[in-house]
Amino acid sequence: MKKELLMASALVSTLGAASVANAVTATMSGSHHVGQEFDSPDSGTDTNSTVNQSSFSVALSETTDGGTTISSSFMLQNESGGIDNDTAIKLTFSDGSALELLNAGNASGTHDVAIPGAGGEQGVAGSTTSNAPTGLDFATPATTFGIEWHSAADFLADGLKVSASFSGDSEAAASSTARTESAFGVGATYVTTAGDSTVTIGAGFADSSTTMSGNAQVNSDAGGMHVGVTAVTGDLTIGVGYADGDTIVDDGTTAALANTQVDGSVVKGGIKYVTGDITLNLGVVAGEAKDSSTTGTAGTTDDSWDEVNASVSYAVAAGVTATLGYTSVDISDEGISTTDGGSAWYVGANMSF
């Protein structure tokens, strides 16, 4: 941690000095999590561990004489994370539209709705080869050689915003491991009111082309769809989302396991309620998938992931939040219930700026 603090101090000093001369505008933010996790796997011994997670983010931007804002960012993480600088160069035009260049991602994933779920750093530690998805953006492939366009707000209709992306071949050598040759995505978010509620609807679709050397080819290219909706009424937020698609994951070091094909779907739901300085969260996740490591052959038996999570957070002071979180997971692999699931508790604090 000392390395990160020294690096951050040096960075702040450098940026402060540079701002006197001709330099982009830099804004900084970060967080530090300290807590204790208690893990109770379905098999094995109960364990507990101290959690220390830190991040320091820098956002850089400047506006040209023509009114176009050029921006990017990077983040320093603690020892286990290193430097994360896989962000795009973003051009935001005077009409509110924007274009991201390189590392742009997939526009479908840009519009997945954030479903309420537990805070905290608890997670069941068991390992499994179950490939049931747990996130709405699991089927949004992209390469680093891409662009993503975002419309201005109120595109064609009040409350509507859309995006489209395309990424091309990175020109990496073809091998026995499947790789994305090209990918595209489209997505949209629509915000409206219904009585006393603010309703947000997000949806997206993605597709790709996958290549391998040799005769064997994957059964389905990565891609899929998602849709989600949240409703905020006063201090209460309710959300639900669904995603369905295909992806390719690396389950091991052999060529076959490195090309595990997954046909999956997931449903997420959650509730958040804020009362004074206290925030209550409750979430559920139900994912299922058929996976196959035999290249070109679809899976036939189900993997599943069924999760319930909850948390209580208390705002102790400005930027300081104490959290008590709980997660319980049941897992099946190839149609058979496993002992890789379990439950976990977390108690800790988050300090952010």
pLDDT for 27-48, tens place per residue?
999 999 999 999 988 887 888 9
pLDDT value of position 80: 57
pLDDT value of position 43: 80
Is the pLDDT score of 18 beyond 80? no
> What is the chain's Cα-based Rg?
22
Q: Which amino acid is at 187?
A: G
For residue 5, the SS3 value is: helix
* 143-190 per-position pLDDT tens digit: 888 999 999 999 999 999 999 999 988 666 555 667 788 899 999 999
> In total, how many domains does the chain have?
1
**Using CA atoms, how far apart are residues 70 and 90, in angstroms rounded to an integer?**
6
Q: Rounded mean pLDDT of 17-26?
A: 64
Q: Which residue in 243, 216, 218 sits closest to 228, CA to CA? A: 243
| 123 or 167: which leads in pLDDT | 167
- Computed over every residue of the chain, the mean pLDDT equals 85
Compute the residue count for the chain. Answer: 353
pLDDT value of position 125: 62
Q: Which residue in 261, 171, 185, 251 sits closest to 221, CA to CA? A: 261
Is the pLDDT score of 3 beyond 70? no
The boundaries of the domain holding residue 265 are: 2-352
Grade residue 256 by pLDDT with cuts at 50, 70 and 90.
Answer: low
CA 163 to chain centre: 17
Q: Rounded mean pLDDT of 86-114?
A: 92
Q: Which amino acid is at 299?
A: G
Q: CATH number of the domain that 86 lies in?
A: 2.40.160.10
* Tokens read off for 187: 């997505």
* Tokens read off for 94: 């005077």
Is the pLDDT score of 14 beyond 60? no
pLDDT value of position 260: 80
pLDDT value of position 283: 97
User: How much of the chain exceeds pLDDT 70, in percent?
Assistant: 83
